[in-house]
Amino acid sequence: MITRSERSGEKRNRIFSPGRRNRREKKLPFRLSFITKGDSGRVYPFTRFVNGEEAVLEESAGVSLVENQDIWLRFDGPPDFRFTMDGLDVVTLPHAEKIDGQSYLRPGWKGEPFLLFEGRDFPLVPGYYVITVTGAGKIWRGLLEITPKFMGRQSWQAMREELVEEIKDLSFDFMKRSIHISRSMEGELGLKSAMLLRFYAISEESDRVVQVLGELARTANSRIVRKQGVVRSNRDAAGAHIRCASGKSREGTPVLPVICSEVTWNVAENRFAKAILQKLDENLRSFVQEIDDHARRLGKVQDANAGYYKNRDFKNGANALSHFEKYRARAVHIRNAIRMVAEATWFHEAESGMPETLPMTVFLDPRYSLLYRLYRNLRNPADSLSVSSFYQFQWKRTDKLYELWCFLQFIKALEEKGWELATGPAVVQEDGKYRLSSLEEGTEITLSRNDEKIHLIYDGTVPQHASDTDRETDPLYTNNVHRRPDLRMDYYRNGAYNGSLVADFKYRDIFFLWRDAARSAGIRTQFNAYRDMNTKFYRGMEESDSLRNSRPVKEVWAVFPKEIPPRGDEDFSLRFISLAPGLKANGNLAEMVERYIVSLNEN
């Protein structure tokens, strides 16, 4: 995938040539520039703006600055103009105005720049920030790029691409779950991911497709066309729309050339539908053949294990065969419906061959669009997975990108140790593709393993009072203001709550910062609050004993993108976890999580 910075590199040099810049500035009723004191007070004029909210996401960055340095702003313009940008709400500025919860700045004081972000406080992380200037009834938007310092652009790009693929993988896992295919059964089925995606597509679409095919067997789109012909008498010409001059046939019989109207089924969408149905029938035939091959192979294994019908492998195999039969029956049902359509008059009249371009009717008529969607998803199953535009926006903020990436690493680590997804975000269909409905703040995912269960929460708020807690969904509470960790992992065994892991994903060198007690005072307070969370549901204790004597959070994990040897701070029950694309330490996460789970089961 091409990043915006790579895509726009050539553009940027051209756009900001001195002549072009001056021309653009004349058109703006304000002046905006950033100043970085770290490179001798260099001034970066900002002149690249667009009008549309969506268009800004496709633009190149107007200015690129390196993270973790002091950034000053100079904003000149009419007094009713206002400036704001992403991230402005994390700093306190004496001249800021709050409008609907958003911070805005007025034009500068006598043209003097003022400090916008201090590098030592790490408020402006690498990524893309939308800049907005309003005034005179208009809105100008642009992008400011902050380039990474702790992670090279290549690692940043790798993390971005990994996030896309892992969200697709997570979508796929939930899709398999919705058609009752567990990890163990997936092994018994012996199917590749493409075949499982075809299972899901047929499971989702078969009922609607059969209904549409039933309609097409009775009728399809048609058109009235005019054709030139001849009739032998005026009486025969009565039904003709247009009569022409009389003439004689070769035999000398008087005839009348006419233009007649008639109904034709040979229209673009029907030619398309015929071609699609023929190809769909071929795909389904191959699908059935592949199912039969797998079923024969698995049947031989079942015959060999017939004497061990209580064996777990035998039961899984029997369950897998049942799935084969079900999806084979659905595919055959669709093929039979296609045969009925093939007997219709319109099907015989429509010419064969896929049109070079898709007729607009295919997208306007839900019958044709449904057939095309199923055909496309069966032909290229991997293309049926997509990523929500929500994540496209999150890519602009590297701190959020890092949080999402880390959260998915924890899910992968648990799956590596035999945990299976049980519940989570719904898989929805959008533009003919399948994706997770959301992975936003407060997303909850449940995993299970034998008699164990894990409740995983991304960026969720912990209740403030014990009375607001719930054993199954919110066992912890804290009256501290710091009660929104990036990850909370609640662990249950045999229905009893055995404790939690709390982790925060910090896109900064948190270990370096931690060694300076004064500068890390705020973070120390935050981690202490996480460690001191309490519960009234700990194991089998009475509520009063649980509140007095339990410590459900044995450790807090500070996750950050720099590789260091295993470190911790026992005084804070804190462990530093290195996690970022390409780090060797990534391979240790699954074992570390498993060891922590074991510790929660210890007395």
> DSSP for 45-73?
E----BS-TTGGGGSPPSEEEESSS-EEE
Q: Are residues 345 and 293 both part of a single domain? A: yes
Count of structural domains, the chain: 4
Q: Is 147 exposed, middle or buried (0-12, 13-18, 19+ CB in 10 A)?
A: middle
Angle at 388 between CA 384 and CA 393, to 5 degrees: 145
Q: Are residues 260 and 301 both part of a single domain? A: no
Q: Which residue has the higher pLDDT, 162 or 244?
A: 162
| Pure H helices in 343-481 | 345-349, 360-364, 366-379, 389-394, 398-416
pLDDT score of 25 more than 50: no
Q: Are residues 299 and 397 both part of a single domain? A: no
Report the distance separating Cα 266 and Cα 347, nearest Å: 9
The residue range of the domain holding 415 is: 389-601
Confidence (pLDDT) at 505? 93
Give the percent of the chain with pLDDT over 70: 72
> On the CB side of 374, how many CA atoms lie within 13 Å of its CA?
31
Q: Are residues 18 and 110 both part of a single domain? A: yes
Q: Are residues 459 and 530 both part of a single domain? A: yes
Q: Which of 12, 144, 170, 11 is nearest to 83 (CA)?
A: 144
Q: Which of 366, 384, 402 corresponds to the end of one domain?
A: 384
Q: Are residues 464 and 445 both part of a single domain? A: yes
User: Does residue 139 lie within any of the structural domains?
Assistant: yes
Q: Is 457 exposed, middle or buried (0-12, 13-18, 19+ CB in 10 A)?
A: buried
Residues 6+ apart with CB under 8 A from 267: 221, 222, 223, 350
Report the distance separating Cα 405 and Cα 282, nearest Å: 40
Query: For residue range 329-363, what is the model confidence (pLDDT) as tens digits?
Result: 888 988 999 999 999 988 988 888 777 777 777 77
Q: Are residues 410 and 555 both part of a single domain? A: yes
Element (H, E) at 240: none
User: Does residue 157 lie within any of the structural domains?
Assistant: no
Average pLDDT over residues 103-130: 76
Q: Which of 464, 509, 506 is nearest to 482 (CA)?
A: 464
Confidence (pLDDT) at 170? 64
The count of other CB atoms within 10 Å of the CB of residue 588 is 16
Confidence (pLDDT) at 125? 66
Q: Are residues 379 and 280 both part of a single domain? A: yes
Confidence (pLDDT) at 108? 76
Query: For residue range 521-575, what is the model confidence (pLDDT) as tens digits?
Result: 888 999 999 999 999 999 989 989 999 889 999 999 999 988 888 899 998 999 9
Confidence (pLDDT) at 122? 52
User: Does residue 369 lie within any of the structural domains?
Assistant: yes
Give the percent of the chain with pLDDT over 90: 28
Average pLDDT over residues 162-185: 59
Q: Which of 332, 361, 384 corresponds to the end of one domain?
A: 384
Q: Are residues 418 and 515 both part of a single domain? A: yes
Report the distance separating Cα 46 and Cα 211, nearest Å: 57
Q: Are residues 288 and 143 both part of a single domain? A: no
Produce one character per residue of 72-100: b if its CB has 16 or more CB atoms within 10 Å, e if not.
Answer: bbbbebeeebbbbbbbbeeeeeeebeeee
Residues 6+ apart with CB under 8 A from 463: 469, 474, 476, 477, 483
Q: Which residue has the higher pLDDT, 79 or 51?
A: 79
Q: Which of 124, 147, 170 corresponds to the end of one domain?
A: 147
Confidence (pLDDT) at 9? 40
**In the structure, what pLDDT confidence band is assigned to residue 178 with cuts at 50, 70 and 90?**
low
Pick from 183-192, 249-258, 260-269, 562-571 the range whose average pLDDT is largest.
562-571
Confidence (pLDDT) at 424? 79
Query: For residue range 444-487, what is the model confidence (pLDDT) as tens digits?
Result: 989 999 999 999 999 999 999 999 999 999 999 999 999 999 99
User: Does residue 554 lie within any of the structural domains?
Assistant: yes
pLDDT score of 391 more than 60: no
User: Does residue 153 lie within any of the structural domains?
Assistant: no
Confidence (pLDDT) at 210? 86
User: Does residue 536 lie within any of the structural domains?
Assistant: yes
User: Does residue 168 lie within any of the structural domains?
Assistant: no
**In the structure, what pLDDT confidence band is assigned to residue 308 with cuts at 50, 70 and 90?**
low
**In the structure, what pLDDT confidence band is assigned to residue 263 with cuts at 50, 70 and 90?**
confident
Confidence (pLDDT) at 235? 52
Confidence (pLDDT) at 489? 97
Q: Are residues 570 and 589 both part of a single domain? A: yes
Strand partners, 384: none
Q: Are residues 302 and 215 both part of a single domain? A: yes
Decide if 300 contacts 306 (C-beta within 8 A): no
Confidence (pLDDT) at 15? 30
**In the structure, what pLDDT confidence band is assigned to residue 172 with cuts at 50, 70 and 90?**
low
Q: Name the amino acid, one letter, at 574.
A: L
User: Does residue 250 lie within any of the structural domains?
Assistant: yes
Report the distance separating Cα 185 and Cα 191, nearest Å: 10
Residues 6+ apart with CB under 8 A from 289: none
Q: Is 22 exposed, middle or buried (0-12, 13-18, 19+ CB in 10 A)?
A: exposed
